[in-house]
A = this chain, B = another copy of it.
Amino acid sequence: MIGGMADRPYHHGHLRAALLAEAERTLREEGIDALSLRDLARQTGVSHAAPRRHFADRQALLDALAEAGFAWLGDEVRAAVNGASGDYQARLRAAATAYVRFATADAALLQLMFTVKNASQPGVLPEASASLFGAVSDLIGQGQRADALPPGDPGRLRLLLVATLQGIAALVISGRVPAEQTDALVADAVALFTRSHN
């Protein structure tokens, strides 16, 4: 045997996780068009048909990526809220900033999360996004109890807040908002929600 590299055993052992990690990197660095199952198999050192065991088709892989993305974004938003000091508006701004930062750092992933033709397993993605929506729900509840947000159906207010953050992210990603204006726009959005309530 020349070269001395230990041969990978016939069974990879962590193929599913390896594929997901490699896919996330490719998605972030090169965009969704560069994401091919064959290429992923090549970079992971298995045959082109091996991924089939773990992902029924390309869409199943994309769904899994979106699912992981929701969990991750939910964690980021929660961490930003918990780590922020200051009044309610400051905490809301921290959460909003974390959201938009995630969106610009991993634009293709965010887009994947908010498109979803038809999840292979119906109900999986709504469940995954519940983590994010739950974090925002907590934040809404706090704001309404502190009279820092307008009263009314918290569910609709939550949707409206997520929509606004999502929309800002979309504008930044598409280049219609220059990167320097991002923070100001986020601050404007937060001010709009907390207007005459601080």
Bound complex: CA of A126 vs CA of B170, how far in Å?
Answer: 14
Among residues 92 to 140 in chain A, which have CB atoms less than 8 Å away from a CB atom of chain B? 111, 114-117, 126, 129
**B-side contacts of A188, CB under 8 Å:** 156-157, 160
A21 within 8 Å of B by Cβ?
Answer: no
A20 within 8 Å of B by Cβ?
Answer: no
A45 within 8 Å of B by Cβ?
Answer: no
* Given known A-B contacts A185-B156, A195-B150, A167 and B162 have beta carbons under 8 A apart: yes
A27 within 8 Å of B by Cβ?
Answer: no
Bound complex: CA of A189 vs CA of B114, how far in Å?
Answer: 20
Which one of B129, B159, B167 lies within 8 Å of A166 (CB-CB)? B167
Among residues 142 to 195 in chain A, which have CB atoms less than 8 Å away from a CB atom of chain B? 150, 156-157, 159-160, 162-168, 170-171, 173-177, 181, 184-185, 188-189, 192-193, 195
Bound complex: CA of A192 vs CA of B192, how far in Å?
Answer: 7
Which one of B116, B129, B176, B195 lies within 8 Å of A195 (CB-CB)? B195
**B-side contacts of A162, CB under 8 Å:** 167, 171
Which one of B33, B116, B193 lies within 8 Å of A175 (CB-CB)? B116
A85 within 8 Å of B by Cβ?
Answer: no
* Given known A-B contacts A150-B195, A168-B167, A160 and B174 have beta carbons under 8 A apart: no
Instruction: Other than A114-B171, A156-B185, A196-B196, give 6 A-B pairs with Cβ distance below 8 A.
Output: A111-B111, A126-B175, A156-B181, A162-B167, A163-B167, A195-B196
The 5 closest A-B pairs by CB, nearest first: A167-B167, A163-B167, A166-B167, A163-B168, A114-B174
